Homo-oligomer: A and B are copies of this chain.
Amino acid sequence: MSITGRTRLMAIVGDPVAPLRSPALFNAAFARLGRDAVFIAFEVPAGELSAAWPGLTALRNLDGLVITMPHKEAVIPLLDALGPTAARTGTVNTVRRRAEGGWEGEMFDGEGFRDGLERAGHAVRGARILQVGCGAAGRAIAHALARAGAARLTLHDAAPGRAAILAASLEYPGLSAAAGDPDLRGHDIVVNATPLGLREGDPMPFDPAGLRPSQVVADVIPNPEVTPLIAAARAAGCATVTGRAMHEGQARLAAAYLGIEGWETPGV
């Protein structure tokens, strides 16, 4: 990769940025596609995105952004248009320039997660799913699982009321959605949609003691790929889907939204 004054820019905006995998993933794709572009990380602390936004807008060679924690909701009022999932979930993870000026955004965390789960061979249609974590990513994931035909969604969040509000918003035919305790029994798929596992020493998002080998455990944390939860699930004999699969699904969808043609190589 040779960066010159002509090289176009894309970036991921978040904090912390050190564990992010997007730069490596996108730059590998740019190299493979022979695209004169570079993907970097912009470390913007919580609360500073609106101050940073006019500056990002002024960078004329910046074509698109992936938005991650803690900005997935904060970016909404800075945008001029929202895609359908962004509008439904109140969260955005990818933004691009509009031809008429300004920015538009869409949310692919949920569809990326579902895509990763299904590519790993785990059907969502008809499944009974326990999801722990109902923040920005969790909302998008719950909507994507509901849209893909989940039969039951049990939602839990440490913040009181959050799970119930999300459950009430999930009006999909054939779906039973409710807030509940993180009780593993009666669920086919168990999802961690909290950030727990990102930092060393984090507690478990839920007690994995009751896991059975027939259950699938999916995590949203892409780095470390094997979180303590994933390790415990594997020890219990469960099939697992790591955050890396979700992240690759997100990146695939974000890349398409950002006009990066040919992201998938044949056979992958």
Interface residues of A (CB under 8 A from B): 1-7, 9, 12, 15-24, 27, 38-45, 48-49, 51-62
Partner of A15, one of B15, B38, B57, B60: B60
The answer for the CA separation of A57 and B17 in the assembled complex, in Å, is 16
A–B pairs, 24, beta carbons within 8 Å:
A3-B23, A3-B27, A3-B38, A4-B18, A4-B20, A4-B41, A5-B16, A5-B17, A5-B21, A5-B22, A5-B41, A6-B17, A7-B40, A9-B40, A15-B60, A38-B40, A41-B61, A42-B59, A43-B61, A48-B58, A51-B55, A52-B55, A52-B58, A54-B55
Residues of B within 8 A of A45 (CB): 58, 60
Residues of B within 8 A of A55 (CB): 51-59
A23 close to B7 (CB less than 8 A) = yes
The answer for the CA separation of A44 and B5 in the assembled complex, in Å, is 12
- Which chain B residue lies CB-closest to A51? B54
Residues of B within 8 A of A27 (CB): 2-3
The answer for the CA separation of A58 and B13 in the assembled complex, in Å, is 11
The answer for the CA separation of A7 and B1 in the assembled complex, in Å, is 15
- Which chain B residue lies CB-closest to A2? B24
Residues of B within 8 A of A52 (CB): 54-55, 58-59
Partner of A18, one of B5, B18, B58: B5
B5 close to A23 (CB less than 8 A) = yes
The answer for the CA separation of A27 and B41 in the assembled complex, in Å, is 16
B6 close to A18 (CB less than 8 A) = yes
The answer for the CA separation of A43 and B4 in the assembled complex, in Å, is 12
The answer for the CA separation of A138 and B95 in the assembled complex, in Å, is 41
The answer for the CA separation of A23 and B6 in the assembled complex, in Å, is 10
Residues of B within 8 A of A38 (CB): 3, 38, 40
B54 close to A58 (CB less than 8 A) = no
A23 close to B4 (CB less than 8 A) = yes
- Which chain B residue lies CB-closest to A61? B43
Partner of A59, one of B20, B23, B39, B44: B44
The answer for the CA separation of A57 and B48 in the assembled complex, in Å, is 10
- Which chain B residue lies CB-closest to A44? B58
Given contacts A3-B24, A4-B18, A52-B58, 4 further A-B contacts (CB under 8 A): A7-B40, A52-B55, A53-B55, A55-B55
The answer for the CA separation of A23 and B44 in the assembled complex, in Å, is 23
A40 close to B6 (CB less than 8 A) = no
- Which chain B residue lies CB-closest to A59? B42
The answer for the CA separation of A45 and B57 in the assembled complex, in Å, is 11
